[in-house]
Amino acid sequence: MKRTLTILLLFIYLFVFSQSENIRIYNSLNSPLPNNKITSTIIDKENKIFFGSHEGLIVFDGTNWKKYTTKNSLIPSNKILTISVDNFNNKWVGTTNGLLIIKGDNFKVINKKNSKIPSNKIRKIIIKGSKKYLATEKGVVIVSLQDTLIINKNTKNILDDNIISLEVDEKENIWMGTNSGLFFLNKKEVKLYNKENSNLPDNHIWTLKIEKENIWVGTKKGLLKISETEWTLFNKKNSVLPSNIITNITQDEYNRVWVGTTNGIVFFDGDKGENCKIQKKHKTIFSVYIDKNDNKWISTGEALIVLNEQGVIDFTNIKTNKTSYFNVLNNTEIEYFLPSSTRVEIKIFNNQEELIETVLEERMLKGKHHFYYNTDSLITGSYFCRFKTEKLSDTKKIIVMK
């Protein structure tokens, strides 16, 4: 008993106190993470943290840790490649052996045997409203309320449908990264950009990110920024990039683009880049997730590093019972608090994720807001009221009885 207490106290010391103000480092020695290589990190609407690894799915709820594997759950593979959260807090988990959808405590597996998806290897999941875009080894799968659409060699003029990376812009144009170049697809045409017909430095497109009206393209030979007027290439010779091999691209709330490489991470503010020192020896960056508190969750082969220039908010302090900034009382009273003036959207959806009504869509002042929502136009049933600002998002259920 005494030995167990000593180990527990040592763990708490390492986990909480042996860190700097702006950086926290977590690994399999000082935390319950089973593997130092975290492939995907995301925080859901209940402030639960989901970590994908090659040894299963790990969930931390602010107090308890739980690990899901093929031995103790319906998860189809222990190798997690990507995780996304939809507007209803459902988790979409891409693995090497199928898609896992987590709704509350229920696990549902979608694969080649029980659906239209052409491949069980799900590398990337993009969620745009009610549509989900899946990047697989045999094309892109678009899951909507109406149907499941497959985009690959058999349905479109795509010479290489082994999709490595994926992005969808505001006009629903699809950008697909492959080992043969960059494909652009819309309702009218399919275009292939490669090093033979464009300014791409290499045909291996490992990562993509839409930022404003630009698309950032990560290759084995540099970083490319594509705008409507020009293609700009960044590499070790003309920028702060520590390596030409780009492994991950993401964006923060200040429109800075964070770029992971095989030798550390940098960020670009416009075309100006700045190096970011997270370790004495910079390592390969596998994934980067930026939460609503501006913490950067940076995965390397040696550890999971949490970075925040303003000071890291410990995820040991995240509580699921925090005071909500948005509530629906008695199924009719809507109240919310804004810490600053911001644009607010309040929309009503049915159980099929179809938009029923836009209640509010305008900029609101700082402070507490309260009003009554008239449900007379709704039939008996359950609905979802989604609240969204420039930084925050939450969803509550409304029950209509007549």
CA distances from 153 to 85, 157, 189, 378 (A): 29, 6, 14, 44
Alpha-carbon torsion angle 34, 36, 39, 40, nearest 10: 70
What's the rounded Cα separation, in Å, for the pair 283 and 292?
Answer: 25
Higher-confidence position of 197 and 144: 197
Domains 21-317 and 326-400 share a fold: no
The whole-number pLDDT of residue 402 equals: 79
Region 173-177 average pLDDT: 97
Asked whether 242 and 266 are in contact (CB, 8 A), the reply is yes
The whole-number pLDDT of residue 3 equals: 42
The whole-number pLDDT of residue 7 equals: 38
What does the mean pLDDT of the chain come to?
87
Asked whether 153 and 185 are in contact (CB, 8 A), the reply is no
The whole-number pLDDT of residue 282 equals: 64
Region 74-96 average pLDDT: 96
Q: Which amino acid type is present at position 248?
A: N
- Ranges 49-63, 66-80, 158-172: which has the least confidence: 49-63
Could you write out the three-class secondary structure of the chain? CHHHHHHHHHHHHHHHHCCCCCEEEECCCCCCCCCCCEEEEEECCCCCEEEEECCEEEEECCCCEEEECCCCCCCCCCCEEEEEECCCCCEEEEECCEEEEEECCEEEEECCCCCCCCCCCEEEEEEECCEEEEEECCEEEEECCCCEEEECCCCCCCCCCCCCEEEECCCCCEEEEECCEEEEECCCCEEEECCCCCCCCCCCEEEEEEECCEEEEEECCEEEEECCCCEEEECCCCCCCCCCCEEEEEECCCCCEEEEECCEEEEEECCEEEEECCCCCCCCEEEEEECCCCCEEEEECCCEEEECCCCCCCHHHCCCCCCCCEEEECCCEEEEEECCCEEEEEEEECCCCCEEEEEEEEEECCEEEEEECCCCCCCCEEEEEEEECCCCEEEEEEEECC
pLDDT tens digit sequence for 269-289: 888 888 887 766 668 999 999
The whole-number pLDDT of residue 395 equals: 86
Tell me: pLDDT of 347 over 60: yes
Tell me: pLDDT of 70 over 50: yes
The whole-number pLDDT of residue 20 equals: 52
What's the rounded Cα separation, in Å, for the pair 275 and 230?
Answer: 24
Higher-confidence position of 182 and 318: 182
The whole-number pLDDT of residue 130 equals: 87
Would you place residue 155 in the very low, low, confident or very high pLDDT band (cuts 50, 70, 90)? very high
CA distances from 390 to 167, 224, 284, 344 (A): 21, 28, 32, 8
Q: Where are the domains of the chain?
A: 21-317, 326-400
pLDDT tens digit sequence for 26-50: 887 777 787 778 999 999 988 899 9
Q: Does domain 21-317 have CATH number 2.130.10.10?
A: yes
Would you place residue 226 in the very low, low, confident or very high pLDDT band (cuts 50, 70, 90)? very high
CATH class label, 326-400: mainly beta
Asked whether 173 and 185 are in contact (CB, 8 A), the reply is yes
Would you place residue 383 in the very low, low, confident or very high pLDDT band (cuts 50, 70, 90)? very high
Highest mean predicted confidence (pLDDT) among 59-68, 241-250, 269-278, 383-392: 241-250
CA distances from 158 to 219, 275, 324 (A): 20, 37, 46
Would you place residue 315 in the very low, low, confident or very high pLDDT band (cuts 50, 70, 90)? low
